[in-house]
């Protein structure tokens, strides 16, 4: 189950996390985001050691702004507190797992 990421817990759950953290920037009104949500959950279950968090851009605008989120869904992979890569738009589970592992 993905973590609800907010400005209050971002530092602890993402930047200080051990291991990779995939953060999904999304909004409830976004159709592609709603379709992509289950894909993220399935991929998370298959990738060992991966933490997944979700940032609602409507509720956490400053976080979205901090990471330059211009369109959603956008996923960012963090390693050791660093934003190492990102992808915008929904993708298949296979593509998402490839994105995480490469």
pLDDT, residue 44, reads 87
- Does 46 have pLDDT greater than 80? yes
Q: Which residues are catalytic?
A: 30, 33
> Which architecture characterizes domain 3-101 according to CATH?
3-Layer(aba) Sandwich (3.40)
Instruction: Spell out the domain ranges in the chain.
Output: 3-101
Question: Six-digit token pair at 8?
Answer: 């209050």
- Does 102 have pLDDT greater than 90? no
With the C-alpha atoms ordered 31, 94, 23, 75, is the resulting torsion angle positive or negative?
A: negative
pLDDT, residue 93, reads 95
Residues for the chain: how many in total?
A: 102
Please write the tens of the pLDDT for every residue from 83-99: 999 999 999 999 999 99
- Residue 2: pLDDT band by 50, 70, 90 thresholds? confident
């Amino acid at each position: 189950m993905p973590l609800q990421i907010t400005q209050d817990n971002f530092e602890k759950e993402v930047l200080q996390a051990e291991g990779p953290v995939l953060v999904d920037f999304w909004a409830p009104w976004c159709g592609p985001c709603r379709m992509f949500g289950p894909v993220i959950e399935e991929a998370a279950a298959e990738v060992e050691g991966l933490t997944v968090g979700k940032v609602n851009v409507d509720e956490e605008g400053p976080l979205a702004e901090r990471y330059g989120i211009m369109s959603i869904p956008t996923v960012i992979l963090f390693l050791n507190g660093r934003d190492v890569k990102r992808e915008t738009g929904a993708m298949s589970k296979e593509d998402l797992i490839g994105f995480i592992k490469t």
